[in-house]
A and B are shown apart, each in its own frame.
Chain A
């Protein structure tokens, strides 16, 4: 994995040594979890594995290395490049994004200003979630996303950790590059959490196609409007919609003639229908395609591709 060294460098020295000895397969590695005074754990290929102080793998948490508060603090220093103030806004949301789009989730004691979270202090849990580029993972669904009018407005519905961002990234890449059947299109990506493109200093680290413009670390609703005004995209892609202002911005995007690719947390079509936020959009059949993912996505399977009425296409 190209970012292996960058990822290893964020850990405190001893945790780094344990991980080096354990030599996890970075292509399969999904998470590295550090909790203060709790066992060191990784998730590889969907399986939880505990690591001992010597870097041995074990299923017995009592033998695992207990992560100290000091190790967590050191890790946070390296994650934030000794400059946590620079990531204050991201920390408010509970995560930081590393180069390559890997997400470092944090939890601990929050500092409030009024009734809003100002910052997270005394960070006691860190979850490093690795982003994986899987070129070609959208091959199976791509043909279903085109109709006589071109690309359909598409919503990817998936529970967490089932690969919706990975699928969205590959869809963006393929739509942007084009192929023998479909011409390449200008795609605008609003990458609020820097996960889709993995930008570093504004330049995408992941392959998101040759006709892709990225608005990095930008709120979705604002970013969509900015892209429409400035970059004339044919397709706009956003990850994890879930606020009323996102839905309003989506309506504006659709009125402007752009096509939309979006993802949302959810289990299935019925689950979305039951949510007030999406009810109107579904009644008005705003999206013509729904891609439903499940836990089986890791094995290369997609649960279903549905049309605007929820009818199964594949």
Chain B
């Protein structure tokens, strides 16, 4: 009886891990979509009203869900401090601290960091070009994330269940 209960628990947790990995893929896709929305809004603020970054971040932060809303609000607050750091450093630090719980992978975060390197000091046309380039990269990531959901989600779930069964057989 005890063995049966243990086997059930192992099976359940292994399946849970598989499902959780699958859910992470979906979550990453959703976060990339929010990021795309954010960058489009930023592009609009820069293109049509030439709003300075701190103000634009505050405007956008109230319309974007976590973790990106608080991330932008924190960026605006740090920029207003003007404590001697360049924008690239502020942006990079905040990606590490404020987006540590996000499901974005290393490549996504690297691309976001690169955007921070070019934001701010270029003229309007170059600013918009840099944002457009980032949007293209984001589009590629989104497509890749969407494909991953289709192919890998089921794989992770099956692997979780299969791994659980394998562990149960091994232990029994």
B106 to chain A, nearest CB (A): 26
Whose C-beta in chain A lies nearest to the C-beta of B120? A82
A9 touches B82 (CB 8 A): yes
Q: Does A3 contact B (CB under 8 A)?
A: no
Interface residues on B, range: 20 to 34
Among A30-38, A60-68, A72-80, A131-139, the one that faces the other chain is A72-80
Whose C-beta in chain A lies nearest to the C-beta of B46? A85
Q: Which residue in A10, A76, A81 is a CB contact (below 8 Å) of B53?
A: A81
B86 touches A77 (CB 8 A): yes
Chain A residues lying within 8 Å of B50, measured Cβ to Cβ, are 85-86, 88
Interface positions, chain B 25-56, Cβ under 8 Å from A, are 46, 50-54, 56
B122 touches A85 (CB 8 A): yes
Which of B46, B56, B82, B127 gathers most chain A CB within 10 Å? B82
Which of B52, B54, B87 gathers most chain A CB within 10 Å? B52
Q: How far is the CA of A9 from the CA of B86 in the complex (A)?
A: 13
Q: Does B101 contact A (CB under 8 A)?
A: no
B52 touches A80 (CB 8 A): yes
B126 to chain A, nearest CB (A): 8
Interface size on A, residues (CB 8 A): 18
Given contacts A82-B79, A84-B123, A85-B127, contact A74 B84 (CB under 8 A): yes
Q: Which residue in A10, A74, A78, A88 is a CB contact (below 8 Å) of B124?
A: A88
Q: Does B4 contact A (CB under 8 A)?
A: no
Chain A residues lying within 8 Å of B79, measured Cβ to Cβ, are 81-82
Q: Does A256 contact B (CB under 8 A)?
A: no
A77 touches B121 (CB 8 A): yes
Q: Does A119 contact B (CB under 8 A)?
A: yes
Q: Does A83 contact B (CB under 8 A)?
A: yes
Q: How far is the CA of A74 from the CA of B120 in the complex (A)?
A: 12
B62-92, CB under 8 A of A: which get 1 and which 0? Answer: 0000000000000000010011101100000
Whose C-beta in chain A lies nearest to the C-beta of B75? A82
Q: Does A13 contact B (CB under 8 A)?
A: yes
Main secondary structure of the interface of B (DSSP, over half): loop
A119 touches B123 (CB 8 A): yes
B15 to chain A, nearest CB (A): 48
B84 touches A82 (CB 8 A): no
Interface positions, chain A 230-274, Cβ under 8 Å from B, are none
Chain B residues lying within 8 Å of A86, measured Cβ to Cβ, are 46, 50-53
Q: How far is the CA of A80 from the CA of B55 in the complex (A)?
A: 12
Q: How far is the CA of A132 from the CA of B119 in the complex (A)?
A: 34
Chain A residues lying within 8 Å of B119, measured Cβ to Cβ, are 82
Chain A residues lying within 8 Å of B124, measured Cβ to Cβ, are 85, 88
B123 touches A82 (CB 8 A): no
Chain B residues lying within 8 Å of A13, measured Cβ to Cβ, are 83-84
A192 to chain B, nearest CB (A): 17
Q: Does A12 contact B (CB under 8 A)?
A: yes
A1-24, CB under 8 A of B: which get 1 and which 0? Answer: 000000001101100100000000
A124-144, CB under 8 A of B: which get 1 and which 0? Answer: 000000000000000000000
B123 touches A77 (CB 8 A): no
A81 touches B84 (CB 8 A): no
Q: How far is the CA of A10 from the CA of B53 in the complex (A)?
A: 16
A185 to chain B, nearest CB (A): 34
Q: How far is the CA of A85 from the CA of B122 in the complex (A)?
A: 6
Whose C-beta in chain B lies nearest to the C-beta of A12? B84
Q: How far is the CA of A13 from the CA of B50 in the complex (A)?
A: 27
B75 to chain A, nearest CB (A): 10
**Interface contacts beyond A10-B82, A84-B120, A84-B123: sample of 8 additional A-B pairs, CB < 8 Å, sorted by A:** A77-B86, A77-B87, A80-B52, A80-B121, A81-B52, A82-B52, A83-B51, A86-B53
- 9 A-B pairs with the lowest CB-CB distances in the bound complex, closest first: A13-B84, A83-B52, A82-B120, A82-B87, A9-B82, A81-B52, A85-B124, A86-B52, A83-B53
Question: What are 18 pairs between A and B in contact, CB < 8 Å?
Answer: A16-B84, A74-B84, A76-B121, A80-B52, A80-B120, A81-B53, A81-B54, A82-B54, A82-B87, A82-B119, A83-B51, A83-B56, A83-B120, A84-B122, A85-B122, A85-B123, A88-B123, A119-B123
